[in-house]
């Protein structure tokens, strides 16, 4: 496994592999890797001949009062996990390598970025779409892997790739959860033991929604109300939003039908946590 910090070197290595007909899989991350990230790398390994993982805490996707300065890092552990999951090349650039000067150009995936998490994190998805676009241009992979845990991010990237004709397949990967159902996240490391226990309110509220849907509930308002009441009972959790939308296009819905997404965000102390579940109503 190679590690490179420069754009010129990663371009050379990837190009040399492409020339021999190898398919390139790419997994963008912010590091502090866990089993969730590893499942993306494992899938990339299964489906491609050469797997590259980027580790970059992208400053432009953090708001001024967010956790950029304290975002957890452990490059040595990340390297071990990358190796174990089958990575060929880690791209580990500095901020200066990717942003040598203040950029004038940004990617705004309108309509998908001013809803849900975008309301609470203005500019976040612009930062995400722009860095992913840059990484796609640098690495030029055949396939790129994104976790369903970040459902809105996935929708934004899928739309960007469609709108801008990137010749890249976006592959969604299911959410990996801890034993108690809490979605794995680098940010879980911020939680105290009590806060970590309280974090299970996210998955429990989604399971409540699932049970309501399975027993015939089809009204978004009723599900929203029940989830909110449930979350409000957890004193450590502050609800930011619950959204019930179409899975594709993230359009709000009243009556549940077809493929739908239920997504939510809460804050526990200063830690912001998100989760979601999707359903094919026809199958229920």
Q: Per the structure block, which two tokens stand in for 279?
A: 């359903």
150 lines the binding site for ligand AMP (CB under 6 A): yes
Bridge pairing between strands 259-268 and 237-246:
antiparallel
| Residue closer to ligand AMP, measured from CB, 79 or 149 | 149
- Nearest-CA neighbor of 224 among 274, 263, 280, 282? 263
Q: Provide the b/e sequence for 99-109 (b: ≥16 CB within 10 Å).
A: eeeeeeeebeb
In Å, what is the CA distance from 146 to each residue of 37, 58, 82, 218, 241? 9, 16, 16, 29, 22
Quote the least distance from Cβ 33 to ligand AMP, whole Å.
Answer: 7
Return the range that interacts with ligand AMP (CB under 6 A); candidates 63-71, 172-180, 204-212, 250-258: 172-180
| Residue closer to ligand AMP, measured from CB, 52 or 186 | 186
Interface with ligand AMP (CB under 6 A), residue from 146, 166, 190, 230: 146
- Nearest-CA neighbor of 66 among 274, 271, 275? 271
52 lines the binding site for ligand AMP (CB under 6 A): no
Return the range that interacts with ligand AMP (CB under 6 A); candidates 110-118, 141-149, 158-166, 271-279: 141-149
Dist. CA 222–CA 240, nearest whole Å: 18
Q: Which of 37, 106, 124, 224 is catalytic?
A: 37
Return the range that interacts with ligand AMP (CB under 6 A); candidates 175-183, 188-196, 225-233, 269-277: 175-183
Dist. CA 242–CA 264, nearest whole Å: 4
149 lines the binding site for ligand AMP (CB under 6 A): yes
130 lines the binding site for ligand AMP (CB under 6 A): no
Task: Give catalytic status of residue 34 as yes or no.
Answer: no
Angle CA 32–33–37, to nearest 5: 145
Tell me the β-bridge partners of 51.
Answer: 25
Quote the least distance from Cβ 108 to ligand AMP, whole Å.
Answer: 20
Interface with ligand AMP (CB under 6 A), residue from 25, 36, 86, 127: 36
Q: Per the structure block, which two tokens stand in for 70?
A: 């304290």
Please give the positions annotated as active site. 37
Q: Which residues are at the interface with ligand AMP (CB under 6 A)? A: 29-30, 36-37, 39-40, 146-147, 149-150, 173, 175-176, 183-186
């Amino acid at each position: 496994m190679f590690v490179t910090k420069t754009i010129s070197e990663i371009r050379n290595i990837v190009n040399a592999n492409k020339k021999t007909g190898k398919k390139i899989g790419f997994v963008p991350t912010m590091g502090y890797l866990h089993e969730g990230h590893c499942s993306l790398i494992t899938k990339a390994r299964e489906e491609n001949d050469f797997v590259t993982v980027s580790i970059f805490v992208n400053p432009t996707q953090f708001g001024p009062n967010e956790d950029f300065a304290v975002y957890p890092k452990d490059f040595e552990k990340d390297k071990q996990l990358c190796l174990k999951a089958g990575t060929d090349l880690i791209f580990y650039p500095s901020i200066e390598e990717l942003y040598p000067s203040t950029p004038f150009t940004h990617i705004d995936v309108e309509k998908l970025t001013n809803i849900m998490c975008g309301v609470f994190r203005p500019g976040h998805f612009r930062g995400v779409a722009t860095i992913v676009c840059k990484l796609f241009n640098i690495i030029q992979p055949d396939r790129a892997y994104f976790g369903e845990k970040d459902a809105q991010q996935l929708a934004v990237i899928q739309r960007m790739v469609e709108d801008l004709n990137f010749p890249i397949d976006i592959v969604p990967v299911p959410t990996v959860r801890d034993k108690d159902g809490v979605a794995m996240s680098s940010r879980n490391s911020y939680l105290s033991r009590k806060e970590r226990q309280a974090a299970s309110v996210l998955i429990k509220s989604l399971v409540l929604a699932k049970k309501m849907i399975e027993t015939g509930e089809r009204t978004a308002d009723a599900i929203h109300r029940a989830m909110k009441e449930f979350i409000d009972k957890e004193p450590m959790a502050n609800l930011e939003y619950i959204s019930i939308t179409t899975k594709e296009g993230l359009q709000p819905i009243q009556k549940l039908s077809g493929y739908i997404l239920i997504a939510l965000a809460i804050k526990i102390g200063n830690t912001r946590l998100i989760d979601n579940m999707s359903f094919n109503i026809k199958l229920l």
